[in-house]
Chain A
């Protein structure tokens, strides 16, 4: 038998399958959420199970998290992303005391106690700046694929200045940088700095303590991670499964 965690976010749904001993992630899958959260959650889980040659009947427990978590009929329990990301981050890096999670529509910073429990957390204000959505909008404005966005800015010495206050205004700033002939890599680097500045202020609010781990899809963007490391003066651990941290946490809580 297996256990599963499903994290249905605003942009993507992630599922992981663990053995019943909950010691290792055996398979994982990610699909776009689109308009039907439950369907996306089950689709991701279906893919993860198929990788193992397993079926839903092989699952002892399914726990969901993320914005769509309560839509997943048939899950055994659900928890908010805060506790799931904290739990998942500790699983990926047991020394974690600070978790920064940047997802599609919100970003959060969590301070964990020595026992791994959430001691404090803050989430972004009612604003998309500092979230994955910000990157998405900017990638679209620059005609760059989101997956390549991070690498584009590596080695840039003079990032363009982008206001970090508002996604809509920042987009028009990007357009004016483009119009003035600024190299694309410098604009991309500026965008990374802008999002990192927002996230850094969240992290400082809960207090940054090593080890710092970044979770969520934006953790895969080396440009944002690098900018955030410089701003916080701490190195940031990123695990290849960073995007699955919430789903892993949910599976561990099953």
Chain B
């Protein structure tokens, strides 16, 4: 048994990653001093326009992941719970509200926002969450409403979102005092397309057997594409990471020593359990080769010739805003591309749009691929919802039945 030897191979570019994210957060924290504005934005929000107005985007969800990974979320959630927020509410929202009040967390809370940008494509919770933040900070809130997509987006839905993109521009003009520069927008859009396509290529490296990186790596290295897409720094960094992954593919270096099972992951990571789960799966020779989460930032619809409309389309059609059939299509496509032998679905108590329908999705996925699915109950940052012994037992049993 090689259980003790199961370890993830560290990625060299992680050093550059730390520097990049460190600079980003330091820049955001000193924005006030530097005379720059800060916007808090939802993870699926159109960040490119903020870059056009030199506004620093900050992501409560990314911060939530940091709080989760450092196991600092629960006390922050409790602050919100004491104020009457229900434990059924997303733990990112509870933790963020707790951190906004106490300045708690690994980086002493996020810098105070000058404005809030809320895009409803990821869930309905963000609407009330950002309204609460707006009351708390007394700052302006822009809501970008994206209609749910069944099948394909209708023409009028895209027109509706595109119209709001223009209102978003007007909102930014008002609150920054700057004029919108269309040429700059096209430039940022081109960089964003580059960021996204680099990220897509990085993830695609794991189609190779053995996979040079696994989802635990992707969960970490996705932070730049979420927060900084459309900037030069991220593209330099991703070029370096891509080169390293290609080097690994060439040399046959695998993320997991002795890769025997290739699995998909569905849903947001269990942030506080990353290292335990990564070690456990590695010890079982199981590699998470692809997931529905990190690949959400690989959309292909954006066209630099018509950025306003194509961003409207791309942001409307993100993974959490489409019907179950399309979600299953994506999982099936990932299973084929990455030659996966099964899927682990995290039933995430916090994330309703991601978790609702998972049992049906699992059945449809198995019917179409013949591959087994394990559903694990947890929460992305509220570790009180997680039973390690139970979860690990299920994973071990699942991997045993794959043999």
**A binding-site residues for B, Cβ under 8 Å:** 67, 79-83, 106, 117-123, 125-126, 205
B400 touching A126 by the CB < 8 A rule? no
Q: A67-B389, A106-B390, A126-B390 are in contact. Are A82 and B372 (CB under 8 A)?
A: no
B377 touching A80 by the CB < 8 A rule? no
Q: Which residues of B contact A123 (CB under 8 A)?
A: 390, 393-394, 397
B-side binding surface: helix, strand, loop or mixed? helix
CB distance from B19 to the nearest CB of A (A): 39
Selected from A81, A119, A125, A126, the residue in CB contact (under 8 A) with B397 is: A81
A126 touching B393 by the CB < 8 A rule? no
Q: Which residues of A contact B398 (CB under 8 A)?
A: 121
Give how many B residues have a beta carbon under 8 Å from the other chain's beta carbons: 17
Q: Which residues of B contact A83 (CB under 8 A)?
A: 397, 400-401
5 further A-B contacts with Cβ under 8 Å, apart from A121-B397, A121-B398, A123-B397, are A67-B393, A106-B393, A123-B393, A126-B385, A126-B390
Q: Which residues of A contact B387 (CB under 8 A)?
A: 126
- How far apart are the CA atoms of A113 and B74 in the complex, in Å? 43
B377 touching A125 by the CB < 8 A rule? yes
Interface hits, B364-403 → A, CB 8 Å: 366, 372, 375, 377, 385-387, 389-390, 393-394, 396-398, 400-401
A121 touching B389 by the CB < 8 A rule? no
A80 touching B400 by the CB < 8 A rule? yes
The 8 A CB mask of B315-336 against A (1 = contact, 0 = none) is: 0000000000000000000000
A121 touching B401 by the CB < 8 A rule? yes
- How far apart are the CA atoms of A143 and B108 in the complex, in Å? 53
The 8 A CB mask of B165-207 against A (1 = contact, 0 = none) is: 0000000000000000000000000000000000000000000
Selected from B375, B389, B393, the residue in CB contact (under 8 A) with A80 is: B393
B372 touching A80 by the CB < 8 A rule? no
Q: Which residues of A contact B393 (CB under 8 A)?
A: 67, 80-81, 106, 123
Interface hits, B7-43 → A, CB 8 Å: none
**B binding-site residues for A, Cβ under 8 Å:** 359, 366, 372, 375, 377, 385-387, 389-390, 393-394, 396-398, 400-401
CB distance from A26 to the nearest CB of B (A): 27
CB distance from B350 to the nearest CB of A (A): 14
B397 touching A80 by the CB < 8 A rule? yes
CB distance from B50 to the nearest CB of A (A): 39
- How far apart are the CA atoms of A119 and B389 in the complex, in Å? 23
- How far apart are the CA atoms of A67 and B401 in the complex, in Å? 17
Among residues of B, the one whose C-beta sits closest to the C-beta of A77 is B1
Can you list 23 residue pairs at the A/B interface with Cβ under 8 Å? A67-B389, A79-B400, A80-B397, A80-B400, A81-B397, A82-B397, A82-B400, A82-B401, A83-B397, A83-B401, A106-B390, A106-B393, A117-B401, A119-B372, A121-B398, A121-B401, A122-B375, A123-B393, A123-B394, A125-B377, A126-B385, A126-B387, A205-B359
Q: Which residues of B contact A121 (CB under 8 A)?
A: 397-398, 401
Among residues of A, the one whose C-beta sits closest to the C-beta of B359 is A205
CB distance from B168 to the nearest CB of A (A): 41
- How far apart are the CA atoms of A119 and B385 in the complex, in Å? 28
- How far apart are the CA atoms of A80 and B397 in the complex, in Å? 5
Q: Which residues of B contact A117 (CB under 8 A)?
A: 401
Among residues of B, the one whose C-beta sits closest to the C-beta of A117 is B401
Among residues of A, the one whose C-beta sits closest to the C-beta of B347 is A125
CB distance from B244 to the nearest CB of A (A): 36
CB distance from A198 to the nearest CB of B (A): 15
CB distance from A200 to the nearest CB of B (A): 16
Selected from B375, B377, B401, the residue in CB contact (under 8 A) with A118 is: B401
Those 9 A-B pairs whose CB atoms lie nearest each other, nearest first: A82-B397, A80-B397, A118-B401, A80-B396, A126-B387, A126-B377, A83-B400, A80-B400, A123-B394
- How far apart are the CA atoms of A79 and B398 in the complex, in Å? 11
Among residues of A, the one whose C-beta sits closest to the C-beta of B389 is A67
Q: Which residues of A contact B366 (CB under 8 A)?
A: 120
- How far apart are the CA atoms of A69 and B393 in the complex, in Å? 11
- How far apart are the CA atoms of A117 and B401 in the complex, in Å? 8
CB distance from A254 to the nearest CB of B (A): 15
Among residues of A, the one whose C-beta sits closest to the C-beta of B387 is A126
Q: Which residues of B contact A67 (CB under 8 A)?
A: 389, 393
Among residues of B, the one whose C-beta sits closest to the C-beta of A105 is B390
- How far apart are the CA atoms of A106 and B397 in the complex, in Å? 13
Q: Which residues of A contact B390 (CB under 8 A)?
A: 106, 123, 126
- How far apart are the CA atoms of A81 and B394 in the complex, in Å? 10
- How far apart are the CA atoms of A81 and B389 in the complex, in Å? 13
- How far apart are the CA atoms of A122 and B390 in the complex, in Å? 12
Which of A80, A83, A121 has the largest number of chain B CB atoms within 10 A? Answer: A80
- How far apart are the CA atoms of A36 and B377 in the complex, in Å? 28
- How far apart are the CA atoms of A205 and B398 in the complex, in Å? 16
CB distance from A85 to the nearest CB of B (A): 10
Q: Which residues of A contact B401 (CB under 8 A)?
A: 82-83, 117-118, 121
CB distance from B61 to the nearest CB of A (A): 24
Q: Which residues of B contact A106 (CB under 8 A)?
A: 390, 393
Q: Which residues of B contact A80 (CB under 8 A)?
A: 393, 396-397, 400
Which of B375, B386, B387, B401 has the largest number of chain A CB atoms within 10 A? Answer: B401
